[in-house]
Amino acid sequence: MPDTADVKEQLESPVLASLLGLLAHDLRNPLSALHSNIGFLAAALAHVEEDEREALRDALVSCESLASIIDSLELVSQTLQGSTTQPAEPIRLASVIAEVVSGSRSLASSHGVALRVDESATDDAIRGLADREMLGRSLAYLLRNGIQYSRGEYPVTVSVRNAGRQCSVVVADGGPQLDASLREVAFSAAGQVSVKNQATGRYGRGLGLYCARIAAERASVQLVLMDPPAPATNAFALSVRRA
């Protein structure tokens, strides 16, 4: 039997980061096949009763949720291994927003939440300097967070605000307001563990806000909280340098 101290030392080493990455990789392959097969069944059985179609839609949404968890594992693994910021390149923000919103609509529908894109977020002329993939992942985490906690009175809304050489991609929602005393810890690993154990507020599901910050940093973007536009109760902004 291995010595307990030796096992603890191994788990605190870079080996743990690599193991998390391997675990995410091994989970992604069967999940991809499952998602594909359920999608095939949903298309082939379009004539069945609404209850059966709803069950298939729920299964697809569950696959998407698992895929998000796997993405989180990969991000945490890469962070533990010291992954660096990705090169920032000029990108069309409207294109990134449209792609991420499209991928989030099934989750929003399953929660009965409206997902709205403000006209400001459709302007193709706005260019930002960021890594496209990581910016998209950070935005996806923020949308998922807003959808999961929205009460339905206010749609989860994406907008873009310009301020000189910076512009912000803003995600606003009408869910439970973040406790002011816990706002900062929402974006840290230790803070996430602490508030999860307390099961308070809107910190009870997943590591969305923590992983949103990791992805934002790797995208050369700053994730900040901002005053929400009425009648929203929360707003998160991805501050991007203008190209």
Domain boundaries, the chain: 4-80, 89-242
Could you give the CA distance from residue 122 to residue 112 in angstroms, rounded to a whole number? 24
What 3-state DSSP class applies to 195? Answer: helix
Q: Which of 22-31, 111-120, 167-176, 205-214 has the lowest mean pLDDT?
A: 22-31
Share of residues in the chain with pLDDT > 90 (%):
36
pTM reported for the whole predicted model: 0.78
Q: How many Cα atoms within 13 Å fall on the side-chain side of residue 210?
A: 27
Q: Which fold has domain 89-242?
A: Heat Shock Protein 90 (3.30.565)
Of 6 and 173, the one with more pLDDT: 173
* Residues 202-220: tens digit of each pLDDT: 544 557 888 899 999 999 9
Q: What is the DSSP letter of 200?
A: -
Per DSSP, helices labelled H in the chain are 4-11, 14-44, 50-80, 93-111, 132-149, 189-198, 208-218
Please report which confidence band the pLDDT of residue 240 belongs to, taking 50, 70 and 90 as the band edges: very high
Write down the pLDDT at residue 151: 72
Number of other CB atoms surrounding residue 12 within 10 Å: 9
Could you give the CA distance from residue 168 to residue 237 in angstroms, rounded to a whole number? 6
Write down the pLDDT at residue 22: 67
